[in-house]
Amino acid sequence: MLADPGYPCNQNFVRFVDGEIQAIAVDDSSSYQLTAQLIEQNWQENTKAVIIASPANPTGTIVPAQEMTKIIHLVKEKNAYLIVDEIYQGLVYDIKSSCALTGIDELDEHIIIVNSFSKYFQMTGWRLGWCLVPEHLLQACDHLSQNLFLAAPTYCPKSGNVCFFTGNH
């Protein structure tokens, strides 16, 4: 389950693993984000995971800390996964931002946190990032990384410029 509008690639990642996309139309009443209430209302028997980007692309909105905690509890109660894309963390200026880690005491077996060097570290194009995953998913992630990409993209000097080979996009 994910918010619509949202970062389009996230829908493609779901397709890539033969998942079924449940795109929930969101509007300004929830700052274009999923809320615990929306998730609960739209939950289906086969819902496996909720994807949230906070701050989001394209809207730039965040899920407030209190709401994030509610969402975490709900997803845990449903024995599903919460995948939080925090690629824009640290790029919030006028309000107190929250991240998934502020909603939990310790890394939890239901939470996957995705981040990248692209935005905060201004390394767009390197396609380098990281995931915080529960221990029981380590092997699955290892298999994915072995088959989706072999290493960080290699840059090569070309006519005095630097060009980048994008590995996984």
Minimum distance from CB of 165 to ligand PLP (Å)?
A: 14
Q: CA 81, CA 168: separation in Å to the nearest integer?
A: 24
57 binds ligand PLP (CB under 6 A): yes
Of 118, 132, 137, 153, the one binding ligand PLP (CB under 6 A) is 118
Q: Which stretch binds ligand PLP (CB under 6 A): 17-25, 30-38, 101-109, 121-129?
A: 121-129
Would strands 161-164 and 155-158 be described as parallel, antiparallel, or unpaired?
A: antiparallel
127 binds ligand PLP (CB under 6 A): yes
Q: Which stretch binds ligand PLP (CB under 6 A): 19-27, 101-109, 123-131, 144-152?
A: 123-131
Q: Pattern 25-54, binding to ligand PLP, x per CB under 6 A?
A: ----------------------------x-
Which residues here bind ligand PLP, judged by CB under 6 A? 7, 53, 57, 85, 87, 116, 118, 124, 127, 129
